[in-house]
Amino acid sequence: MNLLQGKTALITGASKGIGRAIALRYAQEGANVAFTYLSSVEKGQALETELEALGIKAKGYRSDASDYKAAEELINSVLADFGTLDILVNNAGITQDGLLMRMSEEQWDNVIRVNLKSVFNLTKAATRPFMKQKSGSIINLTSVVGIRGNAGQANYAASKAGIIGFTKSVALELGSRSIRSNAIAPGFIETEMTHELGNKEEWLNNIPLKRGGAAEEVADSAVFLGSDMSKYITGQVLQVDGGMLT
């Protein structure tokens, strides 16, 4: 359908899981795709080749979104290599689960830094070019855990709840420049991360659709929020959760 034809998107943490699915869907819809990876070098290089085979311009950058200076350098590199930036997808994230009584300061700091600070870093760095062109779509990946909380994930829930507040504040600040800011809250999505959960059946039983979601289904919502079909939507959190929080 070429819903993103002519647009350039930057997707963080795209070497696997939901980020990878978004990168592929964006390329299928005609977008040029810049993306980041950090530890998964081989997967990042393979994705770049796969995206280019779809007939669009693609480039992977080994970059740490949680590093403020690196985020600025990344945005400058994307603008230099692609000439423009239209969509920013803040997807990079980690989990370091544990009950609060046993959670270390390091576990708390790591998750907040990677999940929440990275969203601030990239969004701030992209704000100037977005304001200059008076357009842009910011899409932040949060989680249903950021809405309802989850035992054993106080750090992760706090980071994802913070993303929601940040998303809405940015929508209010930048809306007058036709810059949109929205969030996607996935539920139980079948990825490498959820495969490690020990209570999978308990999660599935609480989902009205009685199944886990696919990364591609989250990617479809990212296409919608990145495209002109959602040009009058900002400050919203789109739950892709099979009805889990209904």
232 is in an annotated binding site: no
Angle at 101 between CA 96 and CA 103, to 5 degrees: 25
151 is in an annotated binding site: no
In 134-198, beta strands by DSSP E: 136-141, 179-186
158 is in an annotated binding site: yes
Asked whether the beta carbons of 61 and 52 are under 8 A apart, the reply is: no
Nearest to 157 by CA among 204, 236, 216, 95: 95
Q: Is 156 a catalytic residue?
A: yes
71 is in an annotated binding site: no
**Catalytic hit among 61, 68, 156, 232:** 156
Amino acid in position 230: S
26 is in an annotated binding site: no
Nearest to 114 by CA among 85, 155, 62, 59: 155
- Three-state DSSP class for residue 80: helix
- Three-state DSSP class for residue 58: strand
Distance CA 40, CA 232 (A): 36
In 85-178, beta strands by DSSP E: 87-90, 136-141
181 is in an annotated binding site: no
154 is in an annotated binding site: no
Annotated binding site for NADP(+): 91, 156-160, 189
Annotated binding site: 91, 156-160, 189
Give the active site residues: 156
